Amino acid sequence: MSAERIEDIAKAMVMPGQGILAADESTGTIKKRFDSINVENTEENRRDYREMLFRAGIAMNERISGVIMFEETLYQKAADGTPFVDLIRAAGAVPGIKVDKGAQALAGRSGETITEGLDGLRDRLKAYHEAGARFAKWRAVISINDILPTTGAIKANTHALARYAALCQEAGIVPIVEPEVQMDADPADHTIERCHEVTDEVLRVLFNELHEQNVKLEGIILKPNMVIAGSKCSKQNTPDEVAAHTVAVLKRNVPSAVPGIAFLSGGQSDVEATANLAAMNANYDLPWSLTYSYGRALQAAALNAWRGKAEQVAAAQEAFTHRAKMNGLAAKGEWNEAMENA
């Protein structure tokens, strides 16, 4: 066990006004992002894109408390030979690593998945710690419709999350525990009330499993979905409605020992994700720090500005810095929509 306290690392990851950059896209996922801007998915281009984000000084120094990386990125170096881990640390952020192996079909459960990657995880975590990672992420994907998820799928995924979390803490690594009830998976027409019901059940079972595996709650970060209607639902809700449903579910299920909750954006637009987070922080006094752990909602504008062109790096960094600033203000309840164009 490292002399570093996981409780202290977890607190550093949820500092007021700061959040976590999810830059852990797999090679296949980032190919889809690059395809959208006609950029070839090469290791050099992936390096250049991530380096552009990690060298956005104001954003990284003031608004980003941690960076989740894919395994390739953890070991990569910038064009000048500086390890990415050192770039992130120099900005005052905590380097992290995605450790799950992705969601696969869950046997006997049509339409549901189980996240794999527990085999060999103890040895991998040791190597990641030696490489500089101080937190990890594991994403469980929970299907939702009128009949899903099943109790079996919830139990299987939350049990895996708890086992992963225990192994992380054994290695001196803070686990980000991510149970995602999807808003944009087909048919994506569920109401906010249905998402409330499912998220409530998932978090209830999750914290029972964490307790069973002796996971220290003071040394985790929860990364849940917001309680939100499906992307194809005919009724889309206001930020105040999303905040009310989400906070109600959190209060019912998340112990106050958890230092912070870093929401995933889950397919929301940039501004939607910011507005919903701001509504929670502006309207409620809560025992946890509520912040962001966004991928697309932090990167989309920067990716579109960059388009693989060196002469566009400054513009892309400016776009990334703006989104990080907006979300940092939302994490303090100080954002309003007029700031988007200020």
Active site residues: 178, 223
Q: What is the distance between the alpha carbons of residues 206 and 276, in angstroms, rounded to a whole number? A: 24
Residue 181, SS3 per DSSP: strand
- HEC-encoded secondary structure of 260-279: EEEECCCCCCHHHHHHHHHH
Residue 194, SS3 per DSSP: helix
Beta pairing partners, 137: 98, 176
Residue 182, SS3 per DSSP: coil
Rounded (10°) angle between helices 296-306 and 313-330: 160
- Inter-CA distances, 75 with 69, 224, 253, Å: 10, 28, 37
**Residue type for position 138:** W
Complete DSSP assignment for 310-337: GGGHHHHHHHHHHHHHHHHHHTTT---G
CA 155: distance to chain centroid?
21
